[in-house]
Structure 1
Amino acid sequence: MELSPRPTLFDFHGNFKARPDDILIATYPKAGTTWVSYILDLLYFGQTCPERQASIPIHERVPFLEISTSTQPKGKHCADQLPTTPRLIKTHLPVQFVPKSFWEQNCRIVYVARNAKDNAVSFFHFGQMSNGQPEPGEWSTFLEDFMKGKVQFGSWYDHVNGWWEKKQMYSKIHYMFYEDLIEDTGRELDQLCSFLGLSPSLEEKERVAIGSKFDNMKQNNMTNYSTVHTMNQKVSPFMRKGIVGDWKTHFTVSQNEEFDKDYKQKMTNPTLKFRTEV
C-alpha cells in the first residue's frame, strides 16, 4: 500500500466558541495527553456511559481542537458536535494561541507538563511512527531541532513556561507534572478531583486508577490509537514505555551536556522545576 506524503507544518488560525463548562486539556505533544484525557473521561463518564468506553476511541471522546487533515473531520467541528456535558477537549497550542473564548467563559484547564528530555525522546519516536507528522530525521538532528524549537508546536521551553506564567494570573488552570502522576497516581487523582469539584467514592477512584494504568491503556484498543490508520505501530507503538528516565537510553554524554547547558540558559524561572528521574 502506498502511503500518502507526510504533511508540512502550517500556521494555525481560527477561533472556537467555548462553553463555561468545557474542560480543556492542554499539553506539549507527548507529555501525557492521552493519559490525562482518559482519566478525565473515566471520572466524568466511566460509570454513566459504559458503552462509550467500549465503542468510541478516546480521540473521538476528547477531540484534538486544532487538528486539520484531509483524512478526518476537523477538530473544531468534532468539538462543536460533542454530545457530552462537560465537553472534554484537548489542545497542544501554546497558551497565547488558545481561543480567547476559553478565557472569556472562565473554563477550567488541566495542563500537563513532562520533563524536556523524556518529552523529546517520546516526540521523536512519535514522529517516526505517525504519518501525520513531519519526518523527524535522525535522533541527533531531531534533538537539535527540539532544542531550537523547530518542531511542531514550537519550543518546549516557551510552552511549559507560558502556561506556568498564565497559571499565576488565571486561577482555573490545574498544572500537573507527568513525573508526579507516575510517582503517585492516587495523590494526583485526588488533587485533580479537588480542582474539578468532583468527589468520587474510593471504589470509583480505584476503578479510574486501574483503568488508566499504562499497561491497561496499551492493551485497550479504545485508548492505544490502534484505530488510527496514519500511525504505523509496527515502527513504534503509540503507547511505547510510559516511564520516567528513558532519555538515558538515547542521550549520549555529549548530547546530555549540551542539552543541560542549553536548558540552564532557557529555564530561568526558579519556581518551575522538573524531574528527569523519579
Structure 2
Amino acid sequence: MKPLLKDNGEPFTEVLEYDGYLFPNMLGCQQDIDVAEYLASIDELGFEGDEMCIVSYPRSGTHWTYEICNMIKTGRSDFTDTLMPMLEYSPREHLKTAQATNRIYSSHMYPKHMPKQFMAKRCKIIQVYRNPKDVAVSLFNFSKKVTHQYSTGDMGFSEYLRHYRSGNVLCRSWAQWIQEWNIFKKENPDYPLLQIAYEDMKKDLKESVQRISDFLCLNSTPQLIEDIADKCEFNVMAAHKNSNIPQNMELITDIKNTHVFYGKGGVGEWKNHFTVAENEAFDKDMETILPELSLNITYEL
C-alpha cells in the first residue's frame, strides 16, 4: 500500500502501486489483494470476442458513454439504474452480471493491464477522452463528494492541481494515461478502437451516437439514434440519474440526494478555477505532449 501525500507530508489517500500505475486500494471491492493476482483473476472471466470496454481517464464521460452504448446494444433508449461495471473496481458478481447481459465493461487502466484474453480476442474498445483542464476541475469536485480513495479531504484546488500534474493521484496523471493509450494505438493500428471526445459529444451528441453505433456494427435505426441522443443529452440524463440513485452508492459517498458521478458536465469550467499562472504552467506541460497525440483537445465551445 502506498500513501499519497499532501504538500505538508500528511497522507490524503492510499493506492496500490504496480507496473507504473496507481491502482485503487480495494481492487474488486476486496482488501489486501495482490494486484497481479487480481488482474489474472479478471482474465479468467472468459471473453469470447463480442464484449466491449469503455476506457477513459476518470471524469472524462465514462458513465455517459456507458449509457449510450447500453442503449445501442439493447436497442432501447432505457437508462440503467445500477452502477456501471468496472474491471478494477466492481465486485466479481457485478462483472459476471455484465458478462451475462449487455457484455459492456469499463476501465481506467492502462492497456497493458487490460485482461489478456479480452485483448487477444480483439474485443472492441471505445476510448473517451476529455480536455485535461476540465478533468482536473471535475476530479477535484468529485473528490469532495466521496469517501473512498478519490477523496482529498480539505485540500484546496491549487494544491490538488499540482498533484494531478505530477501524477501523484490515482491512475497517475492525465498526460501519462493518454500517452499509454496513444502508444498502444500506434503500435496496434488495426485494433478495433474508437476514440471519441467528450467535447464532441457535447457539441453534437446525435453524430457521436451514430459513430458509436457504426463502430459497433449494430445498424441502429435513425429513430433509435434520435431517441438515444434526446435521452442522453447531458442535463436530461443527469436529471434522471439524480432522481434514481443506485442502492449501493453508499459504498463511495455519504451524499444521499445526488448521483455523485454526474456533475455539471460543462466545457470550460476550468476557467473558473485556474489562475493565470496555473493555466500558463499547465499549457507549458502540454506543449510537447499534445502534438504527439493526434487528438482533438478542445478547452471551450
TM-score range, shorter chain: 0.7 to 0.9
- Over 3 Å counting, the alpha-carbon distance change for 1:271 and 1:134 in structure 2 is closer
**1:95-141 CA distance string (max 9 Å, x none):** 22112111111100011010110011101111111112243221111
* Among 212, 218, 221, the residue aligned to 1:201: 221
Q: Distance in 2 between matches of 1:225 and 1:213?
A: 18
> CA 1:240–1:232 in structure 2 vs 1: closer, same or farther (change >3 Å)?
farther
Checking the alignment, whether the CA contact within 8 Å between 1:18 and 1:101 is kept in structure 2 is: yes
Distance 1:250 1:7, change over 3 A: closer
2:219 match: secondary structure: coil
* Alpha-carbon contact 1:24-1:109 (below 8 Å) kept: yes
Higher strand share: 2
SS at match of 1:10: strand
Q: 1:235 to 1:24 in 2, by over 3 A?
A: closer
Tell me the distance in 2 between the aligned counterparts of 1:84 and 1:126: 31
Decide whether the 8 Å contact of 1:25 with 1:91 is kept in 2.
Answer: yes
Secondary structure at the counterpart of residue 81 of structure 1:
helix
What's the CA shift for 1:27?
0.6
Match of 1:100?
A: 116
Q: Which amino acid aligns with 2:221?
A: S
What residue is the counterpart of 1:47 in the other structure? Answer: 76
Aligned CA RMSD, in angstroms, stands at: 2.4
Q: TM-score with structure 2 length normalisation? A: 0.79
Could you say if the C-alpha distance between residues 76 and 199 of structure 1 is closer, same or farther in structure 2, counting changes exceeding 3 Å?
A: same
1:30 maps to 2:36: no
For 2:173, give the aligned amino acid: S
Deviation at 1:85, TM superposition (A): 4.9
What's 2:145 paired with? Answer: 129
**3-state SS of the aligned residue for 2:212?**
helix
Q: Which residue of 2 aligns with 1:70?
A: none
* Alignment partners' CA distance in 2, 1:78 and 1:235: 22
The amino acid across from 1:264 in the alignment is: E
Instruction: Answer yes or no: is the 8 Å Cα contact 1:126–1:236 preserved in 2.
Output: no
Deviation at 1:265, TM superposition (A): 3.7
Q: Which residue of 1 aligns with 2:159?
A: 141
Deviation of the 1:206 alpha carbon? 1.3
Report how many aligned residue pairs link the two structures. Answer: 260
2:253 equivalent among 217, 231, 239: 231
Q: Which residue of 2 aligns with 1:242?
A: 265
Structure 1 residues 270 and 21, CA gap change in structure 2 (3 angstroms): closer
1:160-175 alignment, distance < 5 Å:
160-168=178-186, 169=188, 170-175=190-195
TM-score, length of structure 1 as denominator length:
0.85
Asked if structure 1 preserves the Cα contact closer than 8 Å seen for 2:86 and 2:107, the reply is yes
Alignment-mate amino acid for residue 150 of structure 1: N
Instruction: Give, in angstroms, the shift of residue 183 of structure 1.
Output: 0.9
Return the structure number with greater relative CO, CA threshold 8 A, min gap 6: 1
User: Which amino acid in structure 2 is aligned with residue 38 of structure 1?
Assistant: E
Deviation of 1:7 (Å)? 5.8
Tell me, yes or no, if structure 1 residue 57 matches structure 2 residue 67: no
Say whether the 8 Å CA contact 1:93–1:153 is kept in structure 2.
Answer: yes
Q: Is the partner of 2:73 in helix, strand or coil?
A: helix
Distance in structure 1 (CA, Å) of the matches to 2:197 and 2:177: 14
The structural deviation recorded for 1:21 is 0.7
Structure 2 alignment gaps of length 5 or more: 1-11, 18-34
Cα pair distance change 1:47/1:275, threshold 3 Å: closer
Aligned equivalents of 1:37, 1:144: Cα separation in 2: 30
Q: Which consecutive unaligned segments of at least 5 residues does structure 1 have?
A: 1-5, 68-73
Q: Distance in 2 between matches of 1:151 and 1:32?
A: 19
Report Cα offsets for 1:232-271 as digits up to 9, x if no partner: 4479943121111000001011111111111214435052
Instruction: Quote how far apart the aligned CAs of 1:57 are.
Output: 2.2
- Relative distance call for 1:103 and 1:165 in structure 2 (3 A) is same
Report the alpha carbon displacement of residue 10 of structure 1 after superposing the two structures with TM.
Answer: 1.7
Tell me if 1:114 matches 2:120. no
Amino acid of the structure 2 residue aligned with 1:57:
D
Name 2:15's counterpart in structure 1.
9
